């Protein structure tokens, strides 16, 4: 640690400071008694070096110096203090008993003293002089603080003005370049400001609309609505406004009141947006919707024809082929019997294909239930439909303990689970019994379902193709089916905005995954 100066400090916060420099403790004590009644913090130093050190750490309002001190006398200390910017303006008072002649007094003034006092000191006079310099110090500090505040306020004001100018310029650029029309009216509804967008929207410069009432641009049947919106204070409405060439411009207008300091309405501010394209697209969409509804009705009619008129001949062909086989079986050779079997098998496949196509086309037709359904019951129904396939294959099917309740179509989800589990059983590995595990997990705003198996697996190049309609990876001789099952699954999942995919390792098994948003409302 560095040695501390030979000094004593009487700490009084937030008060001006007086430095007393004298090598005699008795003199320091005497000065302390005289200045004890002065509202200042007294700091003492026993020599010039200590005084200089204290001036580095403190700001003094007044310094009282003895002249005759060992090492560095008062004159030398005063010259050093006057040479430093930090202490150059601090008032110096010499208080001495040694040198009272005129020569030393002049020297004291020449090194910067403001007063040269001869001991013994008149207590009242010394306190009075100290108080004068303390008041001057406090006044100067007050002026400096006020000047600093004024400069800070001026800088802040300049900065605010600069920001305001930038903000105004940005706002002006925004208003002048925005695709919407910005306008203001007075209390009588006459335009007081119109943005440049007016030219593109109405075919006239903004000046042509100034002082004109907003209602002049409205159709007679819309005037009451506009008045009501302005009267209510806030309004958003669609209007057909008259352009300069008398054509009607379809617009959407937002109106808000302009209030004075007392809360009275003195005008209105509005934003007008051209919605001509939106209106046209809306009309086209309505037309397309009507066409789609007609198409759906035609498709429903086709579905009825397909389910009845197309399947009926197939059933007749299959029935008569069976009757022919039973009645003439003994008279037919093996080749004829094989032909009949091929024909019956083809008729049955055709019937299954039509039935699956109908099921595929009907996905999304039924309305959603009013309340969420428990998918645990749905899964149970799917497994019940597969009881024979599970028992014949010896499959072990594991279902989750908890399944969510979602607002989905029960029949569609029975088919979804049934198709995925049936595929897991159908494409099982020949060397091990099939194991199927079903899981459900909540992930953020959706549920992820996984149906995993230990079957044959799928090569990665087929992982997208298998979800397309009529796509099969094996021939009819290897596995039954029409190639529509996974396409049905994809269509069901897609109805609810979900995704479906497969993760597979050939020879080890597959995991069919699909997500469904949490449809509970």
Domain regions of the chain by residue span: 7-144, 178-274, 282-362, 373-517
How far CA 388 is from CA of 111, 150, 382, 384, 394, in Å, comes to 119, 94, 12, 9, 10
Tell me the C-alpha to C-alpha distance, in Å, between residue 67 and each of 51, 97, 119, 138: 13, 9, 12, 27
Own/partner pairs, 257-260, CB within 8 angstroms, 24+ separation: 257/230, 257/233, 258/184
CB atoms within 10 A of CB 467: 20
The CATH architecture that domain 7-144 belongs to is 3-Layer(aba) Sandwich (3.40)
The whole-number pLDDT of residue 459 equals 87
- pLDDT for 425: 92
Most confident option among 125-134, 346-355, 473-482: 125-134
Q: Assess whether pLDDT exceeds 70 at residue 496.
A: yes
- Provide φ and ψ at 258, rounded to 5°: -105, 125
Helix (H) or strand (E) holding 509: strand 509-517
Measured distance between the N- and C-terminal CA atoms of the chain, rounded to whole angstroms? 75
Level-2 CATH architecture, domain 282-362: Orthogonal Bundle (1.10)
| Confidence tier at 300 by pLDDT (50, 70, 90) | low
What's the mean pLDDT in 490-513? Answer: 92
On whether the CB atoms of residues 91 and 63 are closer than 8 A, the answer is yes
Instruction: Please report which helix (H) or strand (E) contains residue 516, including its range.
Output: strand 509-517
Determine what percent of the chain is predicted with pLDDT higher than 70: 89
Instruction: Locate 85 and state its tokens.
Output: 């910017």
Nearest-angstrom CA–CA distance, 195 and 88 = 63
The separation between CA 431 and the C-alpha centre of its own chain, rounded to angstroms, equals: 54
- The partner residues of 451 in beta bridges, in order of sequence, read 438, 512
Check whether 483 has a pLDDT greater than 80.
no
Residue 344 and residue 351: Cα distance in Å, rounded? 11
* Measured distance CA(413)–CA(406) in Å, rounded: 11
Whether pLDDT at 8 is above 70: no
**Does 220 have pLDDT greater than 70?**
yes
Fold of 178-274: Beta-Lactamase (3.30.450)
Distance set, CA 415 to CA 470, 482, 491 (Å): 17, 15, 11
**Looking at beta carbons, which pairs linking 349-355 to residues 24 or more positions away fall under 8 Å?**
349/476, 349/482, 350/314, 351/311, 351/314, 351/315, 351/318, 352/482, 353/482, 353/484, 354/306, 354/307, 354/310, 354/311, 354/314, 355/307, 355/311
pLDDT at 307 over 70: no
The predicted pLDDT at position 422 comes to: 92
71 three-class SS: coil
Q: How confident is the model at residue 481 (pLDDT cuts 50, 70, 90)?
A: low
Q: Which fold has domain 373-517?
A: Heat Shock Protein 90 (3.30.565)
pLDDT at 278 over 70: yes
Report pLDDT digits (tens) over 457-471.
888 888 888 888 776
The band of 173, judged by pLDDT with boundaries at 50, 70 and 90, is low
Phi, psi for 229 (deg, rounded to 5) = -65, -40
């Amino acid at each position: 640690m560095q040695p501390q100066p030979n000094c004593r400090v009487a700490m009084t916060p937030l008060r001006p400071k007086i430095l007393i420099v004298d090598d005699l403790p008795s003199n320091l004590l005497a000065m302390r008694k005289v200045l004890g009644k002065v509202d200042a913090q007294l700091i003492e130093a026993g020599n010039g070096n200590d005084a200089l050190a204290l001036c580095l750490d403190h700001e003094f309002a007044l310094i009282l110096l003895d002249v005759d001190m060992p090492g560095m006398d008062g004159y030398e200390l005063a010259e050093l203090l006057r040479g430093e910017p930090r202490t150059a303006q601090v008032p110096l008072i010499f208080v001495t008993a040694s040198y009272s002649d005129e020569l030393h007094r002049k020297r004291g003034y020449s090194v910067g003293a403001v007063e040269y006092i001869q001991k013994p000191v008149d207590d009242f006079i010394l306190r009075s002089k100290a108080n004068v310099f303390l008041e001057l110090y406090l006044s100067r500090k007050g002026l400096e603080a006020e000047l600093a505040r004024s400069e800070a306020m001026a800088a802040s004001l300049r900065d605010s003005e600069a920001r305001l100018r930038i903000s105004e310029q940005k706002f002006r650029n925004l208003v002048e370049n925005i695709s919407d029309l910005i306008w203001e009216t007075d209390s009588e509804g006459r335009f007081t400001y119109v943005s440049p967008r007016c030219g593109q929207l109405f075919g006239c410069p903004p000046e042509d609309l100034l002082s004109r009432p907003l209602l002049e641009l409205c159709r007679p049947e819309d005037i009451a609505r506009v008045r009501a919106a302005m009267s209510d204070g806030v309004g958003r409405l669609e209007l057909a406004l008259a352009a300069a060439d008398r054509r009607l411009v379809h617009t959407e207008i937002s109106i808000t009141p302009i209030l004075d300091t007392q809360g009275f309405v003195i005008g209105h501010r509005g934003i007008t947006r051209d919605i001509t394209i939106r209106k046209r697209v809306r009309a086209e969409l309505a037309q397309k919707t009507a066409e789609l509804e007609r198409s759906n009705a035609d498709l429903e009619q086709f579905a009825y024809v397909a389910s009845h008129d197309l399947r009926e001949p197939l059933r007749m062909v299959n029935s008569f082929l069976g009757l022919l086989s039973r009645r003439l079986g003994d008279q037919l050779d093996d080749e004829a019997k094989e032909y009949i079997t091929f024909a019956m098998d083809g008729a049955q496949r055709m019937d299954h294909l039509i039935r699956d196509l109908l099921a595929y086309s009907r996905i999304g037709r039924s309305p959603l239930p009013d309340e969420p359904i428990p998918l645990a019951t749905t899964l149970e129904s799917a497994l019940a439909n597969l009881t024979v396939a599970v028992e014949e294959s010896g499959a072990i099917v594991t279902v989750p303990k908890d399944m969510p309740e979602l607002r989905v179509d029960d029949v569609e989800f029975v088919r979804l689970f049934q198709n995925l589990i049936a595929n897991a059983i159908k494409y099982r590995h020949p060397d091990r019994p099939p194991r199927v595990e079903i899981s459900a997990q909540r992930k953020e705003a959706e549920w992820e379902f996984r149906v995993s198996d230990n079957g044959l697996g799928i090569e990665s190049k087929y992982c997208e193709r298998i979800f397309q309609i009529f796509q099969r990876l094996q021939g009819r001789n290897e596995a039954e089916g029409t190639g529509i099952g996974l396409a049905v699954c994809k269509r069901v999942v897609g109805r609810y905005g979900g995704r479906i995919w497969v993760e597979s390792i050939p020879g080890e098994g597959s995991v069919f995954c699909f997500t469904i948003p949490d449809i509970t409302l």
